């Protein structure tokens, strides 16, 4: 029987995918209590949660998942049933410029969450990962796809930090029996998308005619891609 009083922690919920997940859960499971934990760094935008703030089953908490003392107290106070970890430093270029913050958030933060989860009896810990952990596919081999059996082959500090976190999650299942699942997202797009990401960046540059004359072919391709994506939004809506 479904637990009507389920309490879910959503980390990174002020970001693109996390905020969409929160709205989905509030809509589909109106009896669940949702707590959003977010540090509100460059990709977090509290305004995306304006509507959620009006819901009595939603609460926002600002904090750092890598702060163990803070995380432990939050878990003790709230007694979560499920944890969904969207919180991550997630920009490949930024990881090249400053890899240390990616290691702290993506690896140490994940460990802090899981330690708190196992100490407080969380029923399910879900790690939101990325297909970046699989590396790159050849551009001339459109017949190739990643599967769950594809070996991890990272190519940036970002993907290496996410792969490390994934392996740590699996280790916590095997070592401590923590109930875990992992999902590895590809290039998502939609409402509240951070403008530096690939798809919104392509759309904005195409519609602002930012492609140089020497790259007119690329500019045309960007405009075609943007038009296709917008048509998909309209169709989906």
Give residue 63's Cα distance to chain centre: 16
Give residue 43's Cα distance to chain centre: 10
Say how many CA atoms lie within 13 Å of 58 toward its Cβ: 22
Q: Other C-beta atoms within 10 Å of 16: how many?
A: 23
Catalytic residue from among 33, 38, 81, 132:
132
Active site residue 158: yes
Catalytic residue from among 131, 173, 189, 192:
131
Catalytic residue from among 23, 125, 134, 158:
158
Q: Alpha helices of the chain — where are they, by DSSP H?
A: 16-28, 68-78, 92-97, 99-103, 109-119, 157-176, 198-207, 216-236
Q: Which residues are catalytic?
A: 131-132, 158
């Amino acid at each position: 029987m479904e637990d009507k009083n389920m309490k879910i922690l959503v980390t990174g919920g002020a970001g693109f995918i996390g905020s969409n997940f929160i709205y989905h859960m509030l809509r589909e499971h109106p009896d669940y209590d949702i707590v959003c934990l977010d540090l509100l760094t460059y990709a977090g935008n509290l305004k995306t949660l304006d509507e959620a703030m009006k819901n009595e089953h939603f609460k926002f908490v600002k904090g750092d998942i890598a702060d163990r003392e803070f995380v432990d107290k939050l878990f003790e106070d709230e007694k979560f049933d499920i944890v969904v970890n969207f919180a991550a430093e997630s920009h490949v270029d930024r990881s090249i410029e400053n890899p240390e913050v990616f290691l702290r958030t993506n690896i140490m933060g994940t460990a802090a969450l899981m330690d708190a989860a196992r100490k407080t009896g969380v029923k399910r810990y879900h790690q939101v990962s990325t297909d970046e952990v699989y590396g790159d596919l050849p551009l001339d081999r459109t017949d190739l796809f990643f599967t769950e059996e594809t070996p991890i082959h990272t190519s940036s500090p970002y993907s290496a930090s996410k792969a490390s976190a994934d392996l740590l999650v699996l280790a916590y299942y095997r070592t401590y029996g923590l109930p875990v699942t992992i999902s590895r997202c590809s290039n998502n797009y939609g409402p509240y998308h951070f403008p530096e990401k690939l798809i919104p960046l392509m759309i904005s540059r195409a519609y602002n005619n930012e492609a140089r004359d020497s790259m007119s072919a690329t500019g045309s391709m960007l405009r075609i891609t943007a038009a296709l994506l917008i048509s998909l939004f309209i169709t989906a809506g």
